[in-house]
Chain A
Amino acid sequence: MSDSGSAPAAERPKARAAPEGSTAPARPAPPPRPMVPLPYLLDFFPLQEADQTGIARFFARLREGRLSTTRCSRDDLLHWPPRVACPKCHGTELTWVDLPERGRIYASSAVLAGAPLGMEADVPFAVGLVDLDGVPLRLFGRIVGRRWEALAIGLPVRVEGFELADGRVFYRFRAEPEPGPPGG
């Protein structure tokens, strides 16, 4: 896959940089430890390193705060999630593109009970489908920044990356804080 984003190949960030002051050359990080003490087959989050997945670039960019995905120029098709083969032409020469960080809620709800293992402490949490500005993509994700009761169809949100406890990264949406009480 080639990179049509802003970073030239030579300046592309390593998946994980060497520690500050280290003279050792950067090398691929060891496989991540689980975020919670869960067996691998009970852990939800995708494996992210270059020796584990063909879309490691997605996670490396996310670490820089950029949400990106693959695009097939032959079909003018933006994929979600990022892929290694186009589902339309089945070509494998895909480019990486950054996605808009702003969007609006198409639908939202919340999990108030019945959370999966490792997410019980998050309850209640909001989730939603978000239409990204200017691209034909509607992504599902957690929505933070507001109580679920204060979310609504059409509300603007921003994408943000965040780090899991074991060093992996993931993304979520953040809504502007609710207006404070009158006069407050």
Chain B
Amino acid sequence: MDTIVTAGKLNNEEIFNLLKQFITEVIGEEFAEEMDISMESSFNKDLEMDSIEIVAFSEKIKAHFGDKIDFTGWLSDMDIDQLIALKLGMIVKFIETCQ
């Protein structure tokens, strides 16, 4: 079981590293290593996550940050062009603002 960490707010870089770790866990190290995961990585295109992987990634965010960060709700309110333009950096920023 993942535990909910409540201690202190994370800065941008810490959030990024955490998300990178979640992505690696979800898609597998072999595939993650091939990608140069950065703040600029497009969530859908560069990381090539399918819906099942996105669900797994969302669950990791929820397990770590708890209910104060509604990542799935935030995603589901996007229109199609916003989804296409979604970058990892935007998720970092969203989490930073919410925590």
A binds B: no
Interface residues of B (CB under 8 A from A): none
Interface residues of A (CB under 8 A from B): none
